[in-house]
Each structure stands twice: as structure tokens, then as C-alpha cells.
Structure 1
Amino acid sequence: MKKLIEAVGFIVLLQGIGGLVYEWTGWLRLWTLARHMDFFGDRALFVSIVLIVTGFAIMIAPDAVRKKS
């Protein structure tokens, strides 16, 4: 389960990085999901930063939780 959560966090992180790359350079136009969601409007840069932070948080969350022995 830990690996699955880390994989989901990595995918979210990649979406955020891809969004930033698209906003700054125009590359990865079809790859980023935040760009295709109309309700974000012109806040795609902010959404990309939030996705990066969320991706890091999801990736480190399984390590922060202790197992009960």
C-alpha cells in the first residue's frame, strides 16, 4: 500500500511540474490535466504549484505514519 500511495504522489507531482513547464514555455500542452479543466480558468499556475506541494506531501505521508507493533 505504501508503494501505491507513493506512486499516486509521484503522478500528482509530475502533473504539477508539467503544468509549470506548460505555463512557462508552452510545452506539454496535451499532457497536463489542470490546463484541460475549464473551472480553473487563469489560475493554472497556482494550481500547478498546489499540485507540486500536494504531490510531495502524499509521497512523504506513508513514512510519517508509524506502524503499531
Structure 2
Amino acid sequence: MKGFLGFVCFVLLSQGVGGLLHTWTDGWFTLWALTHRIGFLDGYHVYVDVLLIVLGLAVGSAGEKVKSSA
């Protein structure tokens, strides 16, 4: 479970940071910017990216509190 939460944390953080980099570089950084490809998020990309970063940090801290199963 701890490994899965770590993976989810990585995905959320990378999507949030990648989306912010995509916004700040005027579309130059497209590697991890999946939020800009979703149509109904038009105009809310920065808010969604910040939310993804906050969720990633929350999942990461929850993953640290989970006991190892091994």
C-alpha cells in the first residue's frame, strides 16, 4: 500500500508541476501537462494544477504514515 501511495503521490505532483510549467512557459513544456488537454478545464488550469500539487502532498504524507506490510 505504501508503494502504491508513493506512486500516486508522484503522478499527482508531476502532473501539477508539469501543468504549472506548461502555463508559465506559454505551452513550451508539454511533457506532463495533461490538464491542458481536458476541454472542460479551460480557464481553470492553474487552479487544477495547484490542487493536484496539494493532493499529491496529502497523499505523500498519508503514505508516510501507513505501516509497511513487509
TM-score grouping bracket, smaller chain normalisation: 0.7 to 0.9
AA aligned to 1:5 is L
Q: Which runs of 4+ in 1 moved over 2 A?
A: 26-31, 62-67
Q: Percent identity?
A: 39
Moved more, 37-46 or 27-36: 27-36
- Counterparts in 2 of 1:66 and 1:31: CA distance versus 1, 3 Å: closer
- Structure 1: gaps of 5 or more residues: none
- Counterparts in 2 of 1:4 and 1:65: CA distance versus 1, 3 Å: closer
Moved more, 58-67 or 27-36: 58-67
The CA RMSD measured in Å over matched residues stands at 1.8
Contact 1:10 1:55 in 2 (8 A): yes
SS of residue paired to 2:51: helix
Matched ranges for 1:1-69 at <5 A:
1-25=1-25, 26-29=27-30, 31-65=32-66
AA aligned to 1:28 is F
**What's the TM-score, normalizing by structure 1?**
0.83
- Structure 2: gaps of 5 or more residues: none
Contact 2:22 2:29 in 1 (8 A): yes
Aligned residue pairs: how many?
67
**What's the TM-score, normalizing by structure 2?**
0.82
Shift of 1:64: 3.2
